[in-house]
Structure 1
């Protein structure tokens, strides 16, 4: 994986343990496997910007949340072993089957209260292991906008809570005023952005490679540069054959 990313023009990745045949959120972690991941990344010259630790943080079943939090604790405990200090989260949905599918109960006070209770525990673990947590506004999740992400930061007030910002997750349709949306996101979240995700969205909502959809990436990067952001830009939602082109596209915009 790492050598392929390097060959396509990338100097860092967001890593999921599923890439080495493990569950993305395993019940236990083997030190030899983790050291092997770190060695493979170092040999390729590709950094690990973040480790994926997504589970449904507002799942309607409390037992499912407890299991997810326990698995998250394992990732936080070992994140630095593979070379990263950022683990990404999914704020979740009340849908019991798909953590990325919208549910109308996401908008109720009970969902927000559940998220705060879960995030307080996650933040305590992050403090214990000195690893940051990356939350990403997602239109189908309980944190669906920049405003809600900013509210979560105010409610939790943890120095380990950071933002993963993806423009495709805050632009709802081709009619959206992207200049206004991006300006709002940078004003509310700019100081807390740890990494940027770069996928694109077609007019019908389908995910496509960056530069092939409705997202005005030059405008987005213009707003992003104004914040002084100099962190990793991670692309996803693309076919392997598109990776070199997207790397060139994003590198040009980020320069």
Structure 2
């Protein structure tokens, strides 16, 4: 596995400087966010020079841009908000080749009108699923047009809130453009160790053929998020299951402070190295 980190972990609006920080902290890949170029995370417009600067910064730092964040609320209750998101997704996809990446990560969305990462009772209703299918069909058309893949992530607060729903979505849409980003800390809040391991194992086994990137954060005992290695997530088990299904992509950490980055890189590398020696 290649260790990666969210580029926006590090302050700055110069991609060369931000990606140098990624490399200096011990990471070989990054999930990029256009905020690291001084733009909105989902800009209305990306200049050709701005896109080229991302690739140049990555090359100079020796860092792979494994993905670019393209999250917007795909089932927002206001259809105009969804449509604006689709337009921004196309603008991002249009520049992916120049930025030397072929994967855009998505947010499958929530009926909450204010926060795309907040759960809502309407997420489990049939109309939410219908709207997600419509939004994903638009996103897939964009992906086909610009030769990029789309990464969906099971997330408790979103309409795709389990591995089973992610599998269902893939089965219904039948598009090779649709991939999975797996983050075990998004699959449970509070769970006994045996239950946690079962949830993580089942998700990885079910989605194994579609996983293109893995995330690395953690959960505190009270269910709040924590920095990878500082919570209750069984990382040897998680990474062992990924290895068992043949995953060899990037393990991308996030939800941490820049000052913690080097320590998290050492923690993850230690587990990966131990697993490889078994």
Whether TM-score is above 0.5 comes out as yes
What corresponds to 2:76 in structure 1? 59
- Whether the aligned pair in 1 keeps the contact of 2:19 and 2:63 (CA below 8 Å) is yes
1:133 offset after TM fit, Å?
A: 0.2
For residues 171 and 247 of structure 1, the distance between their equivalents in structure 2, rounded to whole angstroms, comes to 24
Secondary structure at the aligned position of 1:134 is classed as strand
Number of the residue aligned with 2:235: 217
| RCO higher in structure (CA 8 A, sep ≥6) | 2
Q: Tell me by how many angstroms 1:253 deviates.
A: 2.1
Give the secondary-structure state (helix, strand or coil) at the position aligned to 2:72. Answer: strand
Of residues 200, 203, 206 in structure 1, which corresponds to 2:218?
200
The partner residue of 1:124 within 141, 144, 148 is: 141
Deviation at 1:240, TM superposition (A): 1.2
Distance 1:224 1:150 in 2: 17
Do the aligned residues in 2 keep the contact of 1:171 with 1:215 (CA within 8 Å)? Answer: no
**Residue 256 (structure 2) aligned to one of 238, 244, 249:** 238
State the match for 1:174 in structure 2.
Answer: 191
CA distance in 1, matches of 2:93, 2:78: 23
Mapped to 2, the partners of 1:70 and 1:220 lie a distance apart of 36
Counterparts of 2:192 and 2:134 in 1: how far apart (Å)? 36
Q: Please, what TM-score do these two structures have when normalized by structure 2? A: 0.90
Q: Which of residues 35, 41, 52 in structure 2 aligns to 1:18?
A: 35
Distance 1:33 1:54 in 2: 19
Residue in structure 2 matching 1:187, options 186, 191, 205: 205
Equivalenced residue count is: 255
Which runs of structure 2 are paired with 1:12-51 in the superposition (5 Å)? 12-51=29-68
Q: Is the 8 A contact 2:189 2:219 kept in 1?
A: no
State TM-score, norm by structure 1.
0.98
Q: Tell whether 2:166 aligns with 1:138.
A: no
Structure 1 stretches of 4+ with a deviation exceeding 3 A read none
Q: Work out the CA distance in 1 between the residues paired with 2:242 and 2:200.
A: 8
2:94 is the alignment partner of 1:93 = no
Q: Which residue of 1 aligns with 2:4?
A: none
CA deviation vs aligned residue, 1:186-238 (integer Å, no higher than 9, x gap): 22101100100101111222221101011111111111111100000100011
Aligned alpha-carbon RMSD (Å): 1.0
- What secondary structure does 2:97 align onto? helix
User: Which ranges of structure 1 fall in alignment gaps of 5 or more residues?
Assistant: none
